[in-house]
A = this chain, B = another copy of it.
């Protein structure tokens, strides 16, 4: 994925001669209103921030359409490279930074299975499905590669959407499965995209299959390694430079820049930037974060969350406004039925493709889980299937990458593909966004506590304990509010995975933390507020 910065920074271009301080101002204004309205609707059990932003984006698109008399609906041109280089990294990094690490690594095999094998199954189904079903609709010229690309585009679960509907505190297992799948997914789709470019996939031989697997493993391991390496480097540098005479700004700036660097380096070497920055986030939260001054800890934690929050709203606002772009709908308006047909087929294939791997792979995964309570129940499988259905900005960005030349849809076939992608994205995001929370509440009722109580309690807690312990509650809190607690018998049965964690802790304490810092391995600063409280 080598991007051109030229076109990338032209990403927000609204035409060389138009008044565009205008556009930025209006966009910032819309972001502000999204935040305020999102806050006011917070108590509403249906709306999520993403749906609010989408709706506001659509509304302002309509207003702009009316004021420009149908010429343009968007302030800014949707550019997939702007999205991949500026908006996606903070979101994924923050997810890695805030993820409950124990939960994530405990389910690592299942997550990899879903992310790698699962997306492959989904890819094949969507690819072959479109190849068959599009024949009946006469939709312009599509090459073999376009069908393969459709498979890759629509097999990708959108991690950003997942973050919006699943709550890490309410449903930690589902969250780590679906979100983790989305991250691993990215490596798969990079490999798929490369494979589409390189190999002649119409004749699959065992050699190609092996090459494919080898490629995936190489990419997965190098991306992970890069993320971990950059994370450790930043931990080491920040630990070494910590002499009390520290400047908070420098510390925070370095951490942010290093994290971003990991993503950019990964993109530079055609690795999976998402995977890299995710693992960089995990390492940062495990080591680097503990090496910082108390104010830096608070600052980084909230800064990453804020960056991610704003980027998410930005994306949905963007997609909402872009959806009304008149140019591509002009093509479609000549044959509306075709577009509806394509959207319906894609939606159907997405549903089927996801079902085709979630249930079988859950079954396989359950075989490895010995205790009954650790198995993924049917209701949970349904939720995983549903929550991963959403396609979002990643799909749109990939569709633009494949089907347009610099933001303009030239061939009718391509225009139909873009509008159908947008239709699918809008439909799944709005329906998924509105129904997922109620669905989870219906299928997986929380004993006693309502989820809204729980979440407000969580935010309360992060005000009370605060500034010191939070953001790092993974190890401490996990026992308290995660689904079923294993009894002592099950603990015995489940020993293997426990032992891996045990040996990791030994290694971590003996080798890693003394070098890279981490909780309890950084000498307490004498003038820290913690000390103030104690004395």
Q: A residues engaging B (CB < 8 A)?
A: 2-25, 28-29, 31-32, 35-36, 38-40, 42, 85, 237, 241, 245-250, 252-254, 256-258, 260-261, 264-265, 267-268, 293-296, 298-299, 302-303, 305-306, 308-310, 456, 459-460, 462-464, 466-467, 525, 527-529, 532-533
Contact = CB atoms under 8 A, between A and B. Distances in A.
B293 A32 contact: no
A268 B7 contact: no
A534 to B, nearest CB: 10
20 contacts: A3-B20, A4-B19, A5-B21, A9-B11, A21-B267, A24-B85, A25-B265, A28-B261, A35-B254, A36-B237, A38-B250, A39-B241, A245-B456, A248-B305, A253-B309, A256-B306, A295-B298, A296-B302, A464-B527, A467-B529
A294 B466 contact: yes
Closest 10 CB pairs between A and B?
A5-B20, A299-B302, A6-B16, A25-B264, A464-B527, A249-B309, A298-B298, A9-B9, A249-B306, A6-B13
A6 B247 CA distance: 37
Given A28-B261, A250-B309, A256-B306, 9 more contacts: A5-B14, A6-B16, A6-B17, A24-B264, A32-B261, A42-B245, A249-B308, A295-B467, A298-B467
A258 B302 CA distance: 18
Nearest to A234: B32
Nearest to A298: B298
Contacts of A85: 21, 24
A409 B116 CA distance: 53
A459 B295 contact: no
A21 B2 contact: yes
Nearest to A94: B249
Contacts of A3: 20-21
Contacts of A237: 36
B464 A532 contact: yes
Contacts of A303: 252, 299, 302-303, 306
A246 B460 CA distance: 9
Given A28-B260, A250-B309, A527-B463, A5 B13 contact: yes
